[in-house]
Structure formats: structure tokens, C-alpha cells
Amino acid sequence: MTSSQKLSAVGPPAAPGDPQTVREGGRVVQAAVPPLVPAPRQGSLGDIPYSNAAEAPGEVLLSRKEANGVWRDVTAAEFCQEVTAVAKGLIAAGLKAGDRLAIMARTSYAWTLLDFAGWAAGLVTVPIYPTSSASQTAWILADSGAAACAVENVEQSRLVSGRRAELPGLRHLWQIDAGAIGQLTVDGRSLPDALVTSRRQSMSPDTVATLIYTSGTTGRPKGCVLTHGNFFAEVDNATELLHPVFRSVSTEPASTLLFLPLSHVFGRMVAVGCLRARVRLGHAPSIATEDLLADLAGFRPTFLLAIPYVLEKVYNTGRATAEKLGRASSFDRAARIAQRYGEATVARQVGTGPGPSLGLRLAHALYDPLVYRRIRAALGGKVRYAICGGSPLGKRLAAFYAGAGVMVFEGYGLTETTAAATVTPPLRPRLGTVGWPLPGTAVRIAADGEVLLRGGQVFAGYWNDEGAGVPQIGGWFPTGDIGRLDEDGYLTITGRKKEILITAGGKNVAPAPLEDRVRAHPLVGQCMVVGDNRPFVGALITLEADGLTHWQRMHRKEELRPSELVADPELLADLQKAVDEANSTVSQPESIRQFSVLPVDFTEEAGHLTPSLKLKRAAIARDFAPQIEELYRRRR
């Protein structure tokens, strides 16, 4: 008996674009949305610059920041010419179709140029996080069999050079800030453009486009094989669905500043999607608050692709500024009004409420020039939409931004699904969820709560995993995440299957929602919930550097060292408020009963975080075992 034959009931016919839902035992267990666009039967991502140049040669597709800080526009024709020149240089270097080209650099114009030039030359590109260690880098280069590697700077060049003896297949190492792009252009100048055309024409949607290595929270990273067809299924349906974001709905041309790492599938999908949809794209290499705010002010995007950390940072910076000016209570009232206004606006949008009351509208109008306009200004001044992924943003912050005039669309996906598998549908938001299945995608909830996925963006399998193919449960890809579908097919993620804690009392606890809620506090850098086989749930909390500096200044405790601050009664009281707020969302047995503040942060360098800032739980539990034991000694 197949899984479809076991289904007890099918929901009513869906409106165009609405999920078709399936029920079992009185609950929705499956939701699917048909594709909005047909899948291409030929071509590859390498064709995108050439199609753009042929159809709209003078249209501005990218802007690159010059050394003097000025953003210079790049047209479709100019980008295509650069792609061809670099692709010829890669071919001149002896790289053959199917060879792997690794790219290790921060988010930049050169990164995207090398990516598309690699595809135009028929290569498979392999991103490496610029913060990767020598051993991580060597593993990816060796496992992928990379024939060439482009790095950003001399430090990365030395890092790779130091492991060349382990990499006999690595024939080329290029350094971007030492003129690698210009040198490749010179090297390929004598080759005819027809060579690039021939390479492009040899590829199809089934050709491998990239190997993206997973973060490796529990072991060595695995290379996810993503085809050109996987990207087409993802970006074509996403841009069609999100046309208010990717395409201009006013006289203001759509644009975005990409600050997500291109080593991550989310950032990569954004770059491909923008070039495919002809949305002006800029690159920002740093997410340090001062650097990013300056780039946002200079570029002035109309929408953003972000992770919760960035939106939390903008909010917390706004509150810290208000507190410094003695206006913290005013900011907090404005935030509460924005949340109520956002919730009421969304309710009216989806037909579940009348919208903001007259009093709420008047209060909102009062605080718009004082608070909300400043929040929008911090994002560049023109942003009206943001797409957020990586981890849940939380209903409170999503409602605040909606009330401040920035609608946040949340999404959910994995490297194995070429980024988003679900996304908030425009004009049909539901705060606190990660939206509906992306068109062309189906979501199913297994008996144990695991989220299963199916769609054209699901990867082709893991590299060097011959014969294994894509992991499947009855034809579905198992994500390892736990979630639920509501009556209308909206998905909510509640935790990771492997991370579920079981207390000594037998209570199952998903740590991620609690951690995300605590981490939203401006004083908190990271939070890891513990409690497996323990009598109650506890947490390890690290302090966020900027938030702590501000707190010390406001409380006149600049002289205290980290070892003294972690025991400061006032600091602990403020952190208790963050824990209490997180606890308000769960039952008493699931709540955090004790927490310990650490004098150091979790970092990638220390082995506690992955490059995408996910917790390496086993390493943290090992390195901070004494602090965890102390949590439970306190209650004995």
C-alpha cells in the first residue's frame, strides 16, 4: 500500500496558488503547491548572463563598490563581457568541463563573477567559507577533487598553500585581491568566444552546478550535489511568487544588497535569483554593525535577504540608542504599538480582523517619525520587504517590523533543498510560521513529527556517496527537523529531531525555539539549552559584545571584567527577564529553570559554532561540562 493510498481524507480543492492539503486522523499532514512556471528542458545557469545581455543589454544588473566608496553600476552587457573574459581565462588554465573550481572569499562582486564564469566554462563551483580552518579547507578541496581554488587574500592563500602536499589534484591557486581576475582575463584574451559558447551548450538542467558542503554540526561536512535544474526550480518559482519583492511594484527599481555569505546556499540562491530576475544586486562583505549600516546607507536597497541575527541587531541598536538618550521607555512603547499595529494589519490582510483601530493608527502615526522611520533608515531608507531564513525570527519581531513598515517573509529550507522549501506567501502572511510550500514543492509531516519534502529543488545526492542517492522515506526527503502544518498548510518548525532533549521525567523538549527566544535579547550572544536525562531544563548563555558594552555604560560598570560581570546581580536580573519571556511560550516542565552565564562567547574559531553560526552541541557540552554540572548542583 502506498502512502497516498493510506490517506484518510483530502482537503477541498485549493485556489490557484493555495496549498492542496491532506488530512490523516483529523490533522493536516501534507501540503503541496503546484509550480508556477514550467521547468526548463535545456540550458544552464551559465546562460543567464548571455540571455540578459541579449534581451536587455543596457539594464543595470549589479552595482560594485569602488575603493573610494562609490557604487558603480554594471549593465547586463558589461557583466556578460566580464563573464566571458574570465571564463576564457579558466579554459586557458586547462580546466576541463566538469572540473571543480573552489571559491574561498567573503561576499563580493568578484565571487559572483567567478561563479558565473565557472558555469560559463562548464565547471562545477565549490564554495568554502572564508573563516574555515586549514583542516576544513583541505578536506573540502580534497573531497571535491578541486582542480583550482580562488581565495580572497594572502592569509587564505597561505592557509591553502600550507596544505598543498595533501592536494595533488589542485593545479591552480589564485588570489583575488592580488589581481587574479585581471590575470585570468589576460590569460584568456587569445581564445575565441566560441569556446565558451561550446562549453555552455554542452550543459543541461541535469548537469551538476555546484557542490555545497554542509556546516558539519556533528561530523565532517558532506558535499551536496546541486544541479542547474535544482536552482531553476528554486529561483524561478520563488521570483514568480515574490514578484512584489523581486520585481518593482512602483517607480522604484527593485534592488537588494547581499551580505549573506555566498558560501551558504541562501546567499547563493539570492545571487542567482537576482541575476535571473534582473534585480539590481550589490555585495557587502561584512555584517559587523558599523560596516553593514554604512553599506546599506550607501546602496539603499528596496528589499533585503537576511538572517534573524541582522534584524535583531538593527532592533537592539535602535533601542540602545534610545536608552542612551534617556528615551528607552518611549522606544518600548513604540515597539509595543508597532507589534499591535503589525498584527492588526496582517489580520486585515488575510481577512481575520478589521485592521488597526483609530487609536492605534494615531499612536502609530505619532511614533513613525520618531522611531519607525529611524529603523527603516538603518536598513537604507527604502526597504519595504525582507525575506528571512536560517532560523525562526519569532512572531514578536516579525510583528514589530511589519508595524514599522517592513514586511518580513519568513522561509525554511536546507542546503539539500537549494535554500527555500517554504516561504511566506505575499499578501497572505501568517506571523510565527515559515509559510507555505514554495510552488512546485510538497511538505509532509511524518508520524514522529519529522518534516519531509519533495520538489524539483531537492538535491541530487551527496558527493562521493556512490550508489546511495538521495535519502528517502517513501519517496520523500527527510529533513531532520520537527514541525507541524496548520489547517491552511502553513508550516511551523519546532526543533531538530536529533536535538530533542528528554528530561529525567520523560518530557520531550525542543531546544531551538527556547534558544531563539532567549537569543533575541540584546545582552545575549548565544544560548544553548541542556537537560537530556537531567531533572530539569537548563541553559548556557553567552554575552553579546555590543549589547554588553552598552549595558555597562548605562549601569556605570565599565570597570567590571567578564569574570565579574557573569555574577553581577543586575545583569543576571536582566537576563532572567529574557529567560522568563522564553519560558512564557512553553509548559512548565519545558521551561528553563536554571542558567549559567559564560565569560566567553561561542565562536567558530573555538570549535563551538559552524560557519553558518549553528551550535556544535557536543563540542559545547564537552568544553563546558563543569558549568553544566554546576547548574544541576545548585538544585540538589
CATH class of 500-633: alpha beta
Confidence of residue 9 (pLDDT cuts 50, 70, 90): very low
Cα–Cα distance measured from residue 175 to residue 186, given in angstroms and rounded to the nearest whole number: 15
The residues spanned by each domain of the chain are 45-203, 500-633
Confidence of residue 163 (pLDDT cuts 50, 70, 90): very high
- In degrees to the nearest 10, what's the CA dihedral of 86, 90, 91, 95? -160
> Mind listing the pLDDT tens digit for each residue in 564-582?
888 899 999 999 999 998 8
The phi-psi region of residue 482 (left if phi > 0; otherwise alpha if psi is between -120 and 50; otherwise beta) is: beta
> Mind listing the pLDDT tens digit for each residue in 234-277?
999 998 888 766 555 556 788 999 999 999 999 999 999 999 99
pLDDT at 219: 61
Burial of 70 per CB tally in 10 Å (0-12, 13-18, 19+): exposed
Q: What percent of the chain has pLDDT over 90?
A: 67
Angstrom CA distances, 329 to 298, 310, 393, stand at 31, 23, 23
Confidence of residue 169 (pLDDT cuts 50, 70, 90): very high
- B/e letters for 593-608, b = 16+ CB within 10 Å, e = fewer, are bbbbbbeebbebeeeb
> Mind listing the pLDDT tens digit for each residue in 521-536?
889 999 999 998 889 9
pLDDT at 14: 46
The phi-psi region of residue 508 (left if phi > 0; otherwise alpha if psi is between -120 and 50; otherwise beta) is: beta
Strands 407-414 and 223-227: unpaired
> Mind listing the pLDDT tens digit for each residue in 362-397?
999 999 999 999 999 999 999 988 988 877 777 889
Task: Answer yes or no: is pLDDT of 612 > 50.
Answer: yes
Task: Answer yes or no: is pLDDT of 433 > 60.
Answer: yes
Q: Is the pTM of this model over 0.95?
A: no
Instruction: Tell me what the pLDDT averaged over the chain comes to.
Output: 90
Alpha helices in 458-590 (DSSP H): 511-519, 545-554, 562-565, 569-583
> Mind listing the pLDDT tens digit for each residue in 91-109?
999 999 999 999 999 999 9
| Sheet of 592-597, strands arranged across | 524-530, 537-543, 592-597
> CATH for 45-203?
3.40.50.12780
